[in-house]
Amino acid sequence: MNLGTRGSQLALVQARMVAALLDERTGTSCHEIIIKTSGDRLSEAHLSEIGGKRLFVKEIEDALLAGEIDLAVHSSKDMPAVLPDGLAIGAVLPREDPRDAVVLPGSASPVSLETMIKTLGNAPRIGTSSVRRTAQLTRLFPRARFAPIRGNLDTRMRKLDSGDYDALVLAAAGLNRLQHGHRVSATLPIDACVPAPGQGIIAVEIRRDDERTRRLVGTIDDRSAAAALHAERALVEQLGGGCQMPIGAYARIVDDAIHIVGVVISLDGSRVVRAEASGPISDATAAGIATAQRLLGEGADAILAEARTGASAVEGLQP
Active site residues: 78
Half-sphere exposure of 188 (CA within 13 A, CB side): 27
- CB burial of 81-107 (b: ≥16 within 10 Å; e: otherwise) equals beeeeebebbbbbebbbbbbbbbbbee
Contacts (Cβ under 8 Å, ≥6 apart) of 162: none
- In DSSP terms, 125 is beta-bridged to 145
Cα–Cα dist 6/9, whole Å: 9
* DSSP secondary structure of 178-231: TT-GGGEEEEPPTTTSPPPTTTT-EEEEEETT-HHHHHHHHTT--HHHHHHHHH
Which residue, among 76, 35, 27, 40, has the nearest Cα to 249 in the 3D structure? 76
